Structures are given as structure tokens and as C-alpha cells.
Amino acid sequence: MLEIILLIGLTKKIGNMLNAKGRKSGWFKLLTVVLWIGGELIGAVIGAVIGEISDLGLVVAYPLALLGAAGGALTAYLIAKNVRPVETFEPPPPPPVFT
């Protein structure tokens, strides 16, 4: 439950960050969720494999799943932070008119 609350808060923060830059935030929010869940699944699989090899069982899987989710969240945040703002085009001022 706590993970869901953190994920909702992170997607809102990323959405606000991108809206301030003049970008649409929908795809970046989806990217955040995909990276979070993907990182968590990869961490869980790696933890399960390590647990099987070292006879620790699934004790290792959950902490590594959380680390994977944190890595996915950090990746999504850094991508959103480094997106450039939308450049607005301002036409040059008209030349002076001498009469």
C-alpha cells in the first residue's frame, strides 16, 4: 500500500515538473509506472535467483525488488528533470519606421 502511495506521489511530481516546462505529462507518467514496476520485477527475479543460489530463500527477493523499484523511479525522475522546456517562438520586433 505504501508503494502505491509513493508511486502516485512520484507521478504527480513528475507531471507538475513537466507541465511547468510546457510539456504534456501523460506519457512520462506512464513511463514512471512502467519503470517502477519493471525495476521491481527485475529486482525480484534477481533476488530470487540469489536466494536460491545462497540458500537464503526468498528473503533476498523483496529488498532487491524494492531497490529495483527505487532505481526505476530514479531513472524516471532523471529523465523528466532533463527534458528541455518547450521553446516558444517570438517574432522579431518590426523595424523602425522613419517618416
Model confidence pLDDT, tens digit, residues 44-94: 999 999 988 888 878 889 999 999 999 999 999 999 999 998 888 788 888
Q: What is the pLDDT of residues 8-58, one digit of tens each?
A: 999 999 999 999 999 999 999 999 999 999 999 999 999 999 988 888 878
Concatenated DSSP letters for 65-76? HHHHHHHHHHHH
pLDDT of residue 92: 83
Q: Which residue has the higher pLDDT, 96 or 75?
A: 75
Q: Which three cell numbers stand for residue 44?
A: 525480484
H-only helix segments in 1-99: 2-20, 26-53, 61-81
Nearest CA among 99, 76, 70, 63 for reference residue 25: 76
pLDDT of 11 reads: 96
Give the pLDDT score at 64: 94
Contact 34, 60 (CB under 8 A): no
- Cβ atoms of residues 43 and 64 within 8 Å: yes
Give the pLDDT of residue 39. 96
Residue type, 94: P
More confident residue, 30 or 95: 30
Q: How many CA atoms lie within 13 A of 80 on its CB side?
A: 29
Q: Which residue type does 1 have? A: M
Residue 49 in grid coordinates: 535467483
